[in-house]
A and B are shown apart, each in its own frame.
Chain A
Amino acid sequence: DAGVTQSPTHLIKTRGQHVTLRCSPISGHKSVSWYQQVLGQGPQFIFQYYEKEERGRGNFPDRFSARQFPNYSSELNVNALLLGDSALYLCASSLRRGQETQYFGPGTRLLVL
């Protein structure tokens, strides 16, 4: 079975632009979480979606939004990009919400110039 997939793998944007990152969970998994990993740090939780509803949100500004589709794939959107948004964005999937084992994708590396 395929693992968590993310697209694109790399992305370069300029300040003020908007970006959409995509994630497909492991087949059968209904929960998707998004994390931001700045260089040299551990991942920071952004969102969790379960059954197409937001179930949790980390300490990120409203410029960050996400949604989950009926097939359980997910998009992360970031508006008005700042230089500090440059990071590796990781998607993780799990069977259900709550404290399940989360399996991570390879990430999307975003560079904001």
Chain B
Amino acid sequence: AQSVTQPDIHITVSEGASLELRCNYSYGATPYLFWYVQSPGQGLQLLLKYFSGDTLVQGIKGFEAEFKRSQSSFNLRKPSVHWSDAAEYFCAVGAGDYKLSFGAGTTVTVRA
């Protein structure tokens, strides 16, 4: 069965600084990988996804992620964080069947 680990529970970053959120997955074959963002009291919004092809994926809101098979990782990055990026971020893996398996999430706090 597939699983996801997000090692960082909470990250604090200054506005304008860069951000990197870590995601490690466990799955025997090529996974489908997703990053979602959740603002307080809200549902999940898709930031980006990786199915195949170019391992550097561009998403919405200036986010990008890189799939590294050798490290079983799919880290999310943003060059310059805005205050509105404060939220909880979830990495998820799909294994070709019907469900997504999510990590526990990383809460991002942006300080002025």
Check if A and B associate.
yes
Query: Interface of A with B (CB < 8 Å)?
Result: 4, 33, 35, 40-45, 48, 50, 55-56, 58, 90, 92, 97-99, 101-107, 109
Q: Which of A42, A44, A50, A107 contacts B43 (CB 8 A)?
A: A107
How many A-B residue pairs have C-beta atoms within 8 angstroms? Tell me. 61
Query: Interface of B with A (CB < 8 Å)?
Result: 4, 32, 34, 36, 41-46, 49, 51, 90, 92, 94-105
CA distance A48 to B97 in the complex (A): 10
Can you spell out 20 A-B residue pairs with CB atoms less than 8 angstroms apart? A33-B98, A33-B100, A35-B100, A40-B104, A41-B105, A42-B90, A42-B92, A42-B102, A42-B104, A43-B44, A45-B100, A56-B98, A58-B99, A97-B98, A99-B94, A99-B95, A99-B96, A99-B98, A104-B36, A109-B41
- A4 / chain B contacts, CB cutoff of 8 Å: 43
Least distance between A89 CB and chain B CB atoms (Å): 10
Determine whether the beta carbon of A41 is less than 8 Å from that of B100.
no
Least distance between B43 CB and chain A CB atoms (Å): 4
Least distance between A68 CB and chain B CB atoms (Å): 13
Pick from A55, A98, A102 the residue with the most CB of B within 10 Å.
A102
Least distance between A96 CB and chain B CB atoms (Å): 10
CA distance A56 to B4 in the complex (A): 20
